């Protein structure tokens, strides 16, 4: 699955411009499928080329023109097919966890700061998702409520884990910087 497919799916719910879609990616999708203009605009152009969407230009006064895309029957079909076919994956790529894994190579203050920033951004995420939930309302589609609730629950779980276990990294009795230097550098001995 790629961003093209996601755009197609969003257009199934109604016409939109690239700019509109970006807002969706920045709000609902941010925590599990973020995308920027650099992916969205080329996707729409390609989908239009393949006849999966159509585009009308809407001149506006006092504002740049909008290109509003609509899904076509074959586009809807393609999306449904793509969705049935996926072999879903849940992928994480976390530089925070990399940093924590290599905590011994970080200056204690830098480590502490990273943990603080992380906690804060998780808190911001929860706040953002809460207000989004409020905005979409209780009558929003089940899928929407499910993914927003998921994001909130997981962000909270992450914050809690950090809260409860952060001290195992920042604790006093840790060795700094050269950890591993004293140990053997020879794999045969390690294994």
Partner DNA sequence: ATCCCCATGTAATTTGTTACATGATTGA
Partner DNA sequence: TCAATCATGTAACAAATTACATGGGGAT
Cα 115 from chain centre: 20
Q: Among 168, 174, 167, 177, which Cα is nearest to 106's?
A: 177
Q: How far is the CB of 111 from a second copy (least distance, A)?
A: 10
- For residues 58 and 68, the answer to whether their CB atoms sit within 8 Å is yes
Q: Taking CB under 7 A as the criterion, which residues in 30-89 touch DNA?
A: 34-39, 41-42, 44-45, 60, 62-68
Q: How far is the CB of 120 from a second copy (least distance, A)?
A: 12
First to last CA, the chain: 40
> Which of the stretches 19-27, 70-78, 150-158, 167-175 binds DNA when contact is defined by CB under 7 A?
19-27
Cα 105 from chain centre: 28
CA distance linking residue 171 with residue 73, whole number of Å: 60
Could you give the string, one character per residue 126-165, with x where binding to DNA holds by CB under 7 A and - elsewhere?
----------------------------------------
169-to-93, 111, 135, 142 alpha-carbon distances in Å: 20, 8, 39, 40
143 binds, among DNA, a second copy, none (CB under 5 to 8 A by kind): a second copy
* Residue where the block lists tokens 């393949």: 50
Q: Is 67 helix (H, G, I), strand (E, B) or coil?
A: strand
Q: How far is the CB of 162 from a second copy (least distance, A)?
A: 8
> Which of the stretches 28-36, 74-82, 97-105, 124-132 binds DNA when contact is defined by CB under 7 A?
28-36
The number of residues that bind DNA (CB under 7 A) is 26
> Which of the stretches 18-26, 75-83, 118-126, 150-158 binds DNA when contact is defined by CB under 7 A?
18-26
CA distance linking residue 165 with residue 118, whole number of Å: 14
CA distance linking residue 20 with residue 40, whole number of Å: 10
Q: How far is the CB of 158 from a second copy (least distance, A)?
A: 6
Q: How far is the CB of 105 from DNA (least distance, A)?
A: 19
Does residue 19 belong to the site contacting DNA (CB under 7 A)? yes
45 binds, among DNA, a second copy, none (CB under 5 to 8 A by kind): DNA
């Amino acid at each position: 699955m790629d961003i093209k497919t996601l755009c197609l799916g969003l257009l199934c719910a109604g016409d939109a411009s690239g700019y509109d879609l970006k807002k969706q990616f920045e709000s609902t999708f941010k925590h599990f499928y973020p995308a920027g203009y650099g992916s969205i605009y080329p996707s729409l152009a390609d989908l239009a080329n393949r006849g999966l969407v159509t585009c009308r230009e809407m001149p506006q006064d006092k504002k740049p023109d909008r290109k509003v895309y609509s899904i076509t029957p074959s586009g809807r079909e393609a999306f449904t097919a793509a969705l049935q076919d996926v072999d879903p994956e849940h992928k994480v790529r976390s530089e925070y966890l990399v940093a924590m894994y290599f905590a011994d190579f970080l200056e204690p203050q830098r480590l502490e700061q990273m943990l603080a920033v992380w906690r804060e951004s998780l808190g911001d995420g929860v706040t953002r998702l809460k207000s989004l939930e409020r905005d979409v309302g209780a009558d929003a589609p089940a899928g929407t409520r499910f993914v927003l609730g998921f994001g909130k629950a997981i962000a909270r779980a992450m914050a809690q884990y950090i809260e409860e276990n952060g001290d195992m990294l920042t604790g006093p009795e840790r060795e700094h910087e050269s950890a591993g230097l004293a140990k053997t550098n020879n794999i045969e001995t390690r294994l």
